[in-house]
Structure 1
Amino acid sequence: MYTYVEMNRVNFSIVFGVNIVLLLFVGSAFTNPTKTEELNIEDFENYNNEINVEDEEADAKNRNAVNSPLQRWPSNILLYRISTDYNKDEVDNVHAALQVFNESTCLVFKQYDPRIHGNSKHIYYKKSPNMCGTKVGFNPLSPMGPHDIVLNPYCLSERGVIQHETLHVLGLYHEQSRPDRNKYVQIEYSNIPQQYWSQFIAYPEMYTTTYNVKYDYESLMHYSQFAFAKDSTKPSMRARNGTMVIERKMGQIVGPSEGDLTKIRLMYKCN
């Protein structure tokens, strides 16, 4: 079991003027999805493990992109380390997943070497038998050592899932919780268990930003239209086209969309 104990968010806000995302990993078992239809990101991120839904910080992960520069990584060169528990295919998947950012943004993911880099801040891809998750954005109160991304073998089998968690670390939240989302989606709360309502909160611009990037139904950070649905034959989210509500596919696990990459380029001031 992994338990992250952090300072109170209010104290962070007083000192730094930012909202630091706090997550609590709890020890409930996580089983791999068994449904045969197309999988989506909510089938991999185990929210009851990653976030204590009763905790006052549980909703913080759902904003769209960090608004404070203190939560962005201070360098465009990001060091990363892969657990020795990973097998060769899993290691190759992490390397290949990160190559997309090297090729499509100004970020450079470079392997961490303790002999060279000492205790420098780095992203640490750890292995877990049951959990998949991470904390969002850079923590200015912990400028040294590892920032953990915890992945189980099932999550490690999908490069898109590895990229999704990496985008969280870089500072992206879930697309359907951006401040303007009510113009683009209608949340069907009656078809969502109340314990997951916090995953669908839209946040005001004082806490997050869209970087003026168009709403992206195809974002790697978007839930599917059936996310957490009580009745899996009915959508938990419907797309809006003006005043009309329409049925359409949302979300995917193939890889970052152009909208996802555009936000990273803007966030990290890529030319």
Structure 2
Amino acid sequence: MRAPRFSRLAFLATLGTFSVFSCSKDQESAAVQPVASHQQDAKVEQAYPGQTGESQAGYLGGQPIEYRSINGELIYEGDIILTADQVAKSTGTARPESAGRTSGRWPSAVVYYTIDAALPNQARVTDAIAHWQANTPIRFVKRTTQANYVTFRVGSGCSSNIGMVGGRQYINLASGCTTGNNIHEIGHALGLFHEQTRNDRDTYVNILTQNIQSGYESNFSKYSALGYGGTDYGMLDFGSIMMYGSFSFSSNGQPTITKKDGSTFNIQRTGLSAGDKTGIDAMY
């Protein structure tokens, strides 16, 4: 029997986040059909839609990154909210974690959560949770007194922290954030980055920077595994729910990402792909 292949498994030794990018037995594999790019796009997955903020240079896990300072928050790849502990400016090293802080993985694969009473259409939260529980070992339990938990609340866009950061953290959902977008944001909260930022992505895709909207170029930067105890495995998963589509953040209607042969592909925000499931199984 052929062993499952999964892409980019990396322990972020200094950051404390276990990072998995979606996995794939085949470059095109997915458990669900992609949603056409004109129906849904990664543009909705932004912490502050239409606001690019101020570019900042910093470090994540000891690696130089570019992030954006918007409304006092540190925004990475559009919809990932970094904490001050995760970003260390100038020093080139991550700040040490606070005493007693656990790693970026949720212990025992259990995520404690609350839903803000002011959040409309709460079915998009409960349906997304049900999808994760039906397809992965992750379990969601309503929070009582637990110190580390996620609150789903109203936001300006769709956004989340990356991994378990300690204490209360948020998944922010604007009115346009669908169940599929929420499945994507939960992926970030579990420790997943975007698929197209894999260190080996240039083997599989072309990034057409001339077509990317100004201020969103850093959404397409590679997140290298350099310095971490891990690397990229398997092939990039075009069907991953963590993957952008060919026309995501286009400034001119032309593709921002194509396959190596120049062909385009749709974004997928229906559910976890077969690759996503294998990656989470390996992670948790």
Structure with the higher fraction of residues in helix conformation: 1
The percent of aligned pairs where both chains have the same amino acid is: 26
Contact kept? 2:195, 2:242, Cα under 8 Å = yes
For 2:113, give the aligned amino acid: Y
TM-score by length of 2: 0.68
Figure out how many residues of one structure are paired with residues of the other and give that number: 217
Query: Which residue of structure 1 aligns with residue 240 of structure 2?
Result: 219
Q: Matched residues in 2 for 1:135 and 1:111: separation?
A: 19
Contact kept? 2:52, 2:215, Cα under 8 Å = no
Selected match of 2:217 from 179, 191, 197: 197
Quick one: structure 1 residues 213 and 170, their matched pair in 2 at CA, closer, same or farther if it must change by over 3 Å?
Answer: farther
Given the alignment of the two structures, is residue 76 of structure 1 paired with residue 106 of structure 2, yes or no? no
Aligned to 2:180, what secondary structure does the other structure show?
Answer: helix
Query: Which residue of structure 1 aligns with residue 55 of structure 2?
Result: 54
Query: Which residue of structure 2 aligns with residue 248 of structure 1?
Result: 264
* 1:216 CA drift (Å): 0.7
Quick one: structure 1 residues 19 and 195, their matched pair in 2 at CA, closer, same or farther if it must change by over 3 Å?
Answer: farther
For 1:175, give the aligned amino acid: E
Query: Which residue of structure 2 aligns with residue 38 of structure 1?
Result: 39
Contact kept? 2:158, 2:182, Cα under 8 Å = no
Quick one: structure 1 residues 256 and 51, their matched pair in 2 at CA, closer, same or farther if it must change by over 3 Å?
Answer: farther
TM-score by length of 1: 0.71
Query: Which residue of structure 1 aligns with residue 279 of structure 2?
Result: 263
Deviations 1:205-239 (A, max 9, x none): 2267666243111111111101111211x111111
Quick one: structure 1 residues 253 and 55, their matched pair in 2 at CA, closer, same or farther if it must change by over 3 Å?
Answer: same
Contact kept? 1:179, 1:204, Cα under 8 Å = yes
Listed as ranges, the gaps of 5+ residues in structure 1 are 1-12, 21-35, 63-68
After superposition, the CA RMSD in angstroms is 2.9
Given the alignment of the two structures, is residue 149 of structure 1 paired with residue 176 of structure 2, yes or no? no
Aligned to 2:272, what secondary structure does the other structure show?
Answer: coil
* 1:132 CA drift (Å): 2.1
Q: Matched residues in 1 for 2:107 and 2:249: separation?
A: 35
Query: Which residue of structure 2 aligns with residue 124 of structure 1?
Result: 151
Higher relative contact order (CA 8 A, sep 6+): 2
Query: Which residue of structure 1 aligns with residue 126 of structure 2?
Result: 95
* 1:190 CA drift (Å): 1.1
Quick one: structure 1 residues 203 and 168, their matched pair in 2 at CA, closer, same or farther if it must change by over 3 Å?
Answer: same
Structure with the higher fraction of residues in strand conformation: 2
Deviations 1:10-43 (A, max 9, x none): xxx9xx72277xxxxxxxxxxxxxxx93212223
Q: Matched residues in 2 for 1:261 and 1:50: separation?
A: 33
Contact kept? 2:43, 2:49, Cα under 8 Å = no
Contact kept? 2:241, 2:270, Cα under 8 Å = yes
Deviations 1:170-221 (A, max 9, x none): 0011111101100111011111134111111112222676662431111111
Q: Matched residues in 1 for 2:139 and 2:52: separation?
A: 29
